[in-house]
């Protein structure tokens, strides 16, 4: 079992939560006050500027994100509905994030081939989704191929369910786009175009589509699937398309072909780290699309490129609370491009650090995926510092 240094225990201990959900090898333990050696589960590990979702299991991470954002103590903090999707396809999971904001105002949770994990069932019972008014009271939206066991479990929970499926990720993305338009009453002009084969370049889109109405539609490096063509045709030649990723992921020829459906803008970086930063910094002043985060006082969501499903599991962090774009880190620390970006965002004070503003970061993964050193480094880079330089808190 992993150990936590004393410095990393700047946190709120949440004992006894997520019974059965945080039983993996990434969980941490400490001794109770009576010295009996009883384990206290630490699903979250916080420092002054960061909060770690302390698991590398997407099922658990999704539940922890849900618990962080929907306290479910009153109707005002319950979701309207929940999105449920499988573990077999990062592409399907990613496009399902378009339903987080509307109509669901709810989390993504995962099912497995054998059915709903116990932790997912427990979270559905805790949340008690209210039902989406714009969607006939639907409480759960199933996305992608659904094992028989999942629908049976949901029947037991007495949840009203919709199902969105299709033959492949591109078709499912198109069907989600159509579903969103039907329940919202409008088809967004804006569209993110992502590679169906390159999650490291496509996944920064997930945090945006969880936050705003633009969907994610898929292309191959050298071809546009028919389902994507049909979705773009629905926009009558007036689509604003944002191609996410370099030509290594989406070719220049595909970008040219997309111009038949409207305006095309490429947002890219030479590697996944620079690409995510480019997307976090981008703002289209004409349409309002994009995070445009280039100054202090923001939240970021850090994951590695190792498990694409983790990024989708915590996409709701861009929907509620301190809205956060996705930024990649390496396991043991920040790559140079991310270090430079966090330096751009570092808050500076004139007289007192109490002036603010402040930065924060969500970090997702156990210490086997993102080390304590990396969390400490992120914490340091987000810390408010004097405009004059020197010791950040000298004299304070």
Compute mean pLDDT per 10 residues along the chain, 396 residues long, and list them. Answer: 37 38 40 38 90 96 97 96 97 98 95 94 97 92 93 92 97 98 95 98 98 97 98 98 98 98 98 98 97 97 97 97 96 97 93 91 96 97 86 56
Q: Do domains 78-186 and 187-294 have the same CATH topology?
A: yes
DSSP code string of 352-382: -GGG----EEEEES-TTTS-HHHHHHHHHHH
- Between CA 216 and CA 94, with CA 198 as vertex, the angle to 5 degrees is 35
Distance, CA of 388 to CA of 390 (rounded, Å): 7
Distance, CA of 221 to CA of 102 (rounded, Å): 30
Write down the domain spans for the chain: 78-186, 187-294
Annotation: CATH topology of 78-186: Rossmann fold (3.40.50)
Mean pLDDT score of the chain, rounded to an integer? 89
- Domain 187-294's class? alpha beta
State residue 33's pLDDT score: 39
Q: Which CA distances in Å does 116 have to 53, 59, 121, 211, 341?
A: 21, 10, 6, 26, 39
State residue 4's pLDDT score: 39
State residue 3's pLDDT score: 38
Q: Which CA distances in Å does 275 have to 243, 321, 389?
A: 11, 25, 30
State residue 148's pLDDT score: 86
């Amino acid at each position: 079992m992993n150990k936590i240094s004393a410095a990393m225990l700047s946190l709120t201990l949440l004992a006894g939560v997520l019974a059965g959900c945080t039983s993996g090898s990434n969980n941490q333990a400490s001794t109770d006050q009576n010295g009996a050696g009883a384990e206290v589960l630490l699903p979250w590990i916080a420092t002054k500027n960061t909060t770690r979702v302390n698991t590398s299991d997407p099922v658990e991470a999704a539940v922890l994100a849900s618990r962080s954002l929907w306290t479910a103590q009153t109707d005002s903090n319950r979701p309207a509905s929940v999105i449920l999707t499988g573990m077999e396809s990062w592409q399907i999971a990613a496009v399902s994030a378009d339903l987080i904001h509307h109509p669901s105002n709810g989390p993504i949770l995962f099912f497995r081939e054998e059915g709903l994990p116990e932790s997912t069932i427990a979270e559905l019972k805790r949340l008690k989704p209210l039902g989406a008014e714009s969607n006939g009271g639907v409480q759960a939206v199933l996305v992608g191929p659904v094992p028989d066991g999942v629908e049976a479990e949901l029947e037991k929970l007495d949840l009203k369910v919709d199902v969105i499926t299709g033959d492949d990720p591109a078709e499912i993305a198109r069907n989600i786009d159509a579903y969103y338009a039907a329940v919202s009453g409008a088809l967004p002009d804006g569209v993110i175009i992502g590679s169906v084969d390159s999650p490291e370049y496509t996944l920064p889109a997930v945090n945006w589509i969880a936050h705003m109405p633009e969907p994610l539609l898929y292309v191959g490096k050298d071809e546009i699937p028919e389902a994507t063509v049909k979705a773009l045709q629905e926009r009558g030649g007036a689509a604003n398309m944002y191609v996410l990723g370099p030509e290594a992921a989406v070719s220049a020829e595909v970008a040219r072909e997309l111009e038949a459906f409207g305006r095309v803008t490429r947002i890219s970086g030479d590697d996944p780290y620079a690409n995510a930063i480019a997307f976090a910094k981008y703002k289209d002043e004409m349409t309002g699309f994009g995070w445009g985060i280039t100054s202090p006082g923001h939240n970021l969501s850090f994951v590695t490129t190792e498990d694409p499903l983790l990024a989708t599991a915590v996409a709701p962090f861009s929907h509620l609370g301190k809205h956060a774009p996705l930024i990649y880190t390496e396991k043991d620390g920040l790559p140079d491009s991310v270090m430079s970006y966090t330096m751009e965002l570092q808050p500076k004070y004139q007289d007192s650090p109490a002036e603010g503003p402040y930065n924060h970061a969500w970090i997702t993964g156990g210490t086997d995926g993102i080390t304590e050193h990396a969390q400490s480094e992120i914490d340091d880079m987000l810390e408010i510092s004097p405009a004059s330089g020197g010791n950040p808190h000298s004299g304070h």
